[in-house]
A and B are shown apart, each in its own frame.
Chain A
Amino acid sequence: MQAASDTLFRTLADPTRRALFERLCRDGEQTVWMLTGDSGVSQPAVSKHLGVLKLAGLVQDRREGRETHYSAQPKALAPLIDWMSHYGAFWRERFDRLDSLLNRMDQ
Chain B
Amino acid sequence: MTEAADTRTVVVERELPHPPEKIWRALTQGPLIEEWLMKNDFEPVVDHRFKFSADWGSVDCQVMEVEPNKTLSYTWGAFGVGTVVTWTLTPTMTGTHLRMEHSGFAPDRPQNYQGAKYGWQKFLTNLEQVLARID
Contact = CB atoms under 8 A, between A and B. Distances in A.
A75 B131 contact: no
Q: Which of A75, A94, A97, A98 has the most CB of B within 10 A?
A: A98
A72 interface: yes
Interface in B12-43: 12, 14, 16, 18-19, 22-23, 25-26, 32, 35-37
A3 interface: no
A36 to B, nearest CB: 19
Nearest to B79: A84
Contacts, number: 91
Contacts of B113: 25, 74-75, 77
A88 B100 CA distance: 10
Interface residues of B, number: 37
B87 to A, nearest CB: 10
A85 interface: yes
B48 interface: no
B1 interface: no
Contacts of B131: 9-10, 13
B39 to A, nearest CB: 14
B133 to A, nearest CB: 12
B127 A25 contact: no
A22 B116 contact: yes
Contact of B128 (A13, A26, A92, A98): A13
Contact of A99 (B8, B14, B19, B105): B14
A107 B100 CA distance: 22
Contact of B127 (A12, A97, A102, A107): A12
- Sort A-B residue pairs by CB-CB distance and give the 4 closest, nearest first: A25-B115, A97-B36, A85-B105, A74-B113
Interface of B: 8, 10, 12, 14, 16, 18-19, 22-23, 25-26, 32, 35-37, 79, 81, 98, 100, 102, 105-108, 110, 112-116, 120-121, 124-125, 127-128, 131
Given A77-B113, A79-B107, 19 more contacts: A13-B131, A25-B113, A25-B116, A72-B115, A74-B110, A74-B113, A75-B110, A81-B106, A84-B79, A85-B8, A86-B10, A87-B10, A87-B105, A95-B98, A97-B36, A98-B23, A98-B37, A102-B18, A105-B22
